[in-house]
Amino acid sequence: MSSSKICKIIQKNGLYIFRQVYKKKQRNFYKKILEKITKVRINKKEYIGSYNNRVLWSYFKEDRKLMDLVYIKKIDSILKKLLDKNYVFQCGSAQNRAYDYSNKNNKNKLGTRWHTDSRYLNGKRLEKGFSYLVIIALDDFTSSNATTYIPKSHLSTKIPKRNYSNKELNKLNQKKLIMNAGDVCILDSGIWHKGGKTTNLQRWSIFNVYTGWFVKPYYDYSLMRKFKLNKTEKKLLHFNSTPPNINDIRNTLIEFKN
């Protein structure tokens, strides 16, 4: 299917799933690195989520190999059409919704209630297509642990309630985002959704948000100096679109750096 047709599906339905983008060997390789990073951050007493949801913000900062999960060649042309050729990475986390009984911290509430990953102004959500959530399933998303969403809710500018009754959810026609390990989903950030339930099954996944170059990132990625980034990676991490110092003279809002 052409990228133009895929974009039309996303704009109409709010999502599209690419099947088997990452093979088993790749998935195991990335998960092994993420487990290692988890231990490193624990030793450094850094935030790693809690016993019912492991969360690694900016999961790639320790190991350059994980940048392959930030720039995804398979969907690059899609994001360029949906957003702009200068689209950027706003934020990203690696998450594992499996119980870790060795870590009995307070429950992690990240994403457990209904929300969107878009933005709000004056009590309304911004229009569809403001940004896109890219979900990489490194493990299976099953009916017991998959993210739940409301179909076509990206077409509304309403703000979802944090909690709904079962009767309300049936009326809203909630669905499970079922994916096989290796699948990648592009989801309009305006879709109403909430995180999957925690189980004893490993469910490592990547959640990236991409948006226009003019939207500020969650973190200052320009401070990453541990490894060398290529031109495309620098563009994604805002190296080209960070505001200049007040005394600098720049004729364009986007600066192209080598």
Q: Residues 162-200: pLDDT tens digits?
A: 999 999 999 999 999 999 999 999 999 999 999 999 999
Residue 225 binned pLDDT confidence (cut-offs 50, 70, 90): confident
pLDDT given for residue 124 in this prediction: 85
Instruction: Identify the pLDDT of residue 258.
Output: 47
Residue 215 is predicted with a pLDDT of: 94
Look over the chain and give the mean of its residue pLDDT values, rounded to a whole number.
92
Residue 210 contacts residue 117 (beta carbons within 8 Å): no
Higher pLDDT, 253 or 98: 98
Q: Is the pLDDT of residue 14 over 90?
A: yes
- What single letter denotes the amino acid at residue 12? K
Q: What do you get for the CA distance between the two ends of the chain, in Å?
A: 34
pLDDT band at 1 (very low <50, low <70, confident <90, very high): confident
**What confidence tens digit (pLDDT) does each residue in 203-221 have?**
999 999 999 999 999 999 9
State the pLDDT at residue 221: 93
Q: Are 95 and 147 in contact (CB under 8 A)?
A: no
Does residue 224 surpass a pLDDT of 90?
Answer: no
Cα dihedral sign, 10-26-91-51: positive
Nearest Cα to Cα of residue 70 among 243, 209, 258, 242: 209
List the chain domain ranges: 3-236
Does position 250 have pLDDT exceeding 60, yes or no? yes
Tell whether the model's pLDDT for residue 249 goes beyond 50: yes
pLDDT for the residue 101: 78
pLDDT recorded at residue 251: 61
Pick the CATH number of 3-236 from 2.60.40.3080, 2.60.120.620, 1.20.58.390, 3.30.160.60: 2.60.120.620
Sorting pLDDT into bands at 50, 70 and 90, what band is 112? Answer: confident
How would you classify residue 81: left for phi > 0, otherwise alpha for psi between -120 and 50, otherwise beta? alpha
State the SS3 of the chain: CCHHHHHHHHHHHCEEEECCCCCHHHHHHHHHHHHHHHHHHHHCCCCCEECCEEEEECCCCCCHHHHHHCCCHHHHHHHHHHCCCCCEEEEEEEEECECCCCCCCCCCCCCCCCECCCCEECCEECCCCCEEEEEEECCCECCCCCCEECCCHHHCCCCCCCCCCHHHHHHHCCEECCECCCCEEEEECCCCEECCCCECCCCEEEEEEEECCCCCCCCCHHHCCCCCCCHHHHHHCCCCCCCCCCCCCCCCCCCCCC
pLDDT given for residue 212 in this prediction: 95
Closest CA to 136 of 184, 94, 186: 184
Residue 244 binned pLDDT confidence (cut-offs 50, 70, 90): confident
Pairing between strand 131-137 and 148-149? unpaired
Residues 164/172, Cβ–Cβ less than 8 Å: yes
**For 121-150, what is the mean pLDDT?**
95
The model's pLDDT over 52-110, given as tens digits with 9 standing for 90+, comes to: 999 999 999 999 999 999 999 999 999 999 999 999 999 999 999 999 877 766 666 67
Q: Is the pLDDT of residue 256 over 80?
A: no
Q: How many Cα atoms within 13 Å fall on the side-chain side of residue 28?
A: 3
pLDDT for residue 257: 55
